[in-house]
Amino acid sequence: MAEGESKSDRLSRVQQAFVDEGAVQCGICTPGFVMTATAFVEKHKGQKVTRAEIRRGLAGNLCRCTGYDTIITAVEKSLEDDT
């Protein structure tokens, strides 16, 4: 996925959520979404965030494959996850 996001030999929390939720399709947009989602999660960790707020936070990225729902769900999972 996006180099520099993972720690040691494990995927980052956001990367793993993208895999778990099927938010990775062709992969062209994935690095941009992972970087933007990581910054969003770091900024909003522990806060109650709506799907609309997540959409606005990721608005600079475009995906032609997933329809965004799985990406939004992956970010939600990243915000909830404590691993």
Give backbone dihedrals phi and psi of 10, rounded to 5 degrees, phi first. -110, 150
* pLDDT, tens only, 63-82: 888 779 999 999 999 998 65
* pLDDT, tens only, 6-45: 667 789 999 999 999 999 988 899 999 999 999 999 999 8
Give backbone dihedrals phi and psi of 7, rounded to 5 degrees, phi first. -110, 130
DSSP per-residue string spanning 3-50: TTSSBTTB--HHHHHHHHTT--SSSSSHHHHHHHHHHHHHHHTTS---
Stated pTM of the model: 0.86
Report the largest interatomic distance among the alpha carbons of the chain, rounded to a whole angstrom.
33
Q: Which domains does the chain show, CATH number per domain?
A: 16-80 (1.10.150.120)
> Cα 4–18–1 angle (5° rounding)?
35
